[in-house]
């Protein structure tokens, strides 16, 4: 274990970790947006929307995220979409995790007892009001934990953008492994930072989950 | 620059070959992840405490860090301590170990979810401990484990694309090689995507059958 080396390189790793954090936040926000739209489409009354929602989930969950990133970043210019690596990275990752979040959100909404919706409708609320005021608040509680699993996976998933050479944590570790020939030290350093990010996120999410629980 | 999927045709053979390697890597990695999952789960539940805590620490470390980083560690890092794996072996080992940690979680939960009374009842009826485990506990635990383990296998298939980064000539790398000759990324990655999608459908069908067979009456 080369402690001196670790002390010398850790500031660069922390800087790279900021990029990982940025990527995580942006792609998760985009994913939540895509998930909400996707879940709305899948639960819609219109057949076309339902089909589009199902196709989105099927295609993006049925192919590797890495391939999706490559199509966007390397294939995009062929259809006139020219993005820098960072932008392509968070957009690709966001749309990908959105497909998983679509299913998470849909699952939470249909897990709310049907009687709740029926009761609200009987009391004179419109379809939209019943969804907004009765079903969604209960579904939100149910989705925090499974969305947490998606978020946890996404933080680790940001490492994929190393393959399109975004200088985030994994890419940085890879570069330092190549130049120092100390793979274990570099792995350890990057691993500790990932673990710290994921543990902190996990704590935050379980706090949110506890707060949302029915008392 | 528009599309021209005709450029893909001469490379379909090599893409197909890549797809075969993707299937091989997925099967080998999947088998390793299931075996590893059982070992880790049993050790995390029943081993003496120093082993138990060691395994738990390992599981925590491997679950909390990205697969890509682990692949780099195994491929470039093990050489440092004298273990020189080729990319293929390193890829399978990385995928297998990474998913073994997820499977271990599922298997632990599955074993713990079977009611203790089941073991007691089995023993009372004159079955040995091994018999009870084999005939009573495992079939019930499998029922709960099959769907999440299946999900892990699907995720493993898609993550097998990552081993292209350390140079395993599977589907993604085959596409990349073709792109380096034709400069047509969109067509080749889209075609690779279709291949993955089809393999995924096949895997889902197989897993669906297995899942139905494990659903013994409740």
Domain containing A112 equals 3-212
CA atoms within 13 A on the CB side of B35: 9
Tell me the pLDDT band of A103, cut-offs 50, 70 and 90: very high
* B2, B3, B77 ranked by CB distance to A183: nearest: B77
Mean pLDDT of chain A: 91
Number of structural domains, chain B?
Answer: 1
What would the pLDDT profile of B77-122 be if each residue is shown by its tens digit?
Answer: 887 788 888 999 999 999 999 999 999 999 988 888 888 888 889 9
What would the pLDDT profile of A52-84 be if each residue is shown by its tens digit?
Answer: 999 999 999 999 999 999 999 999 888 888 999
Helix and strand element counts for chain A (H, E): 9, 0
pLDDT at B61 over 70: yes
Q: Could you give the CA distance from residue B56 to residue B150 in angstroms, rounded to a whole number?
A: 23
pLDDT at B218 over 90: no
Residues in chain A closer than 8 A to B69 (CB atoms): 159, 170, 173, 187, 190-191, 194
Interface confidence, given as ipTM, is 0.86
Report the b/e string of A194-205 with b at 16+ CB within 10 A.
beebbeebeeeb
Distance from CA of A6 to the nearest CA of B (A): 16
Q: Taking Cα atoms as reference points, which of B163, B155, B164, B142 lies closest to residue B204?
A: B155
What would the pLDDT profile of A25-60 be if each residue is shown by its tens digit?
Answer: 999 999 999 999 999 999 999 999 999 999 999 999
Q: Taking Cα atoms as reference points, which of B112, B136, B111, B139 lies closest to residue B122?
A: B136
For the domain that residue B103 is a member of, what is the CATH number? 1.10.3720.10
Q: Could you give the CA distance from residue B180 to residue B115 in angstroms, rounded to a whole number?
A: 57
Number of structural domains, chain A?
Answer: 1
Q: Could you give the CA distance from residue A209 to residue A149 in angstroms, rounded to a whole number?
A: 12
pLDDT at B1 over 70: no
Residues in chain B closer than 8 A to A76 (CB atoms): 186
For the domain that residue A141 is a member of, what is the CATH number? 1.10.3720.10
Q: Looking at residue B30, what is its pLDDT?
A: 96
| A67: Cβ contacts below 8 Å, ≥ 6 apart | B161, B172, B175, B189, B192, B193, B196
Q: Looking at residue A117, what is its pLDDT?
A: 87
Q: State the alpha helices, DSSP H only, in B114-184.
A: 116-124, 129-132, 138-159, 171-182
Q: Looking at residue A209, what is its pLDDT?
A: 86
CB contact under 8 A, B172 and A66: yes
């Amino acid at each position: 274990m080369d402690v001196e080396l670790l002390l010398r390189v850790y500031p660069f790793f922390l800087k790279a970790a900021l990029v990982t954090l940025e990527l995580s936040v942006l792609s998760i926000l985009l994913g939540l947006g895509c998930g909400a739209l996707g879940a709305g489409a899948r639960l819609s009354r219109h057949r076309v929307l339902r089909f589009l929602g199902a196709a989105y989930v099927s295609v993006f969950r049925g192919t590797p995220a890495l391939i999706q990133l490559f199509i966007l970043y390397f294939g995009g210019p062929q259809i006139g979409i020219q993005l820098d690596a960072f932008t392509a990275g968070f957009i690709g990752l966001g749309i990908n995790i959105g497909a998983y979040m679509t299913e998470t959100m849909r699952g939470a909404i249909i897990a709310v007892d049907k009687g709740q919706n029926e009761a609200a409708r009987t009391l004179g609320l419109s379809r939209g009001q019943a969804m907004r005021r009765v079903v969604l608040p209960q579904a939100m509680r149910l989705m925090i934990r499974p969305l947490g699993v998606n978020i946890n996976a996404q933080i680790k998933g940001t490492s994929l953008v190393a393959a399109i050479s975004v200088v985030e944590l994994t890419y940085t570790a890879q570069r330092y492994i190549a130049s120092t020939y100390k793979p274990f030290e570099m792995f350890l350093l990057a691993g500790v930072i990932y673990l710290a990010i994921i543990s902190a996120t996990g704590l935050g999410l379980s706090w949110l989950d506890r707060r949302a629980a029915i008392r | 620059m528009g599309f021209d999927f005709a450029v893909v045709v001469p490379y379909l053979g090599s893409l197909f070959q890549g797809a075969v390697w993707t299937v091989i890597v997925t099967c080998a990695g999947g088998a390793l992840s299931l075996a590893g999952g059982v070992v880790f789960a049993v050790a995390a539940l029943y081993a003496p405490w120093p082993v138990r805590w060691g395994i738990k620490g390992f599981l925590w470390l491997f679950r909390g860090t990205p697969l890509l980083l682990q692949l780099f560690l195994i491929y470039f890092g093990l050489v440092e301590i004298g273990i020189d794996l080729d990319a293929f072996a390193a890829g399978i080992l990385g995928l297998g170990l990474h998913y073994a940690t997820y499977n271990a979680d599922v298997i632990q939960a599955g074993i713990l979810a079977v009611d203790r009374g089941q073991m007691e009842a089995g023993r009372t009826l004159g079955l040995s401990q091994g018999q009870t485990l084999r005939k009573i506990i495992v079939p019930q635990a499998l029922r709960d484990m099959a769907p999440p383990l299946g999900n892990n296998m699907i995720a493993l298939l898609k993550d097998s694309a990552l081993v292209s980064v350390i140079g395993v000539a599977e589907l993604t790398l085959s596409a990349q090689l073709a792109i380096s000759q034709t400069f047509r990324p969109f067509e080749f990655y889209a075609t690779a995507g279709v291949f993955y999608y089809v393999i995924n459908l096949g895997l889902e069908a197989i897993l669906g059958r297995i899942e139905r067979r494990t659903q013994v009456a409740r």
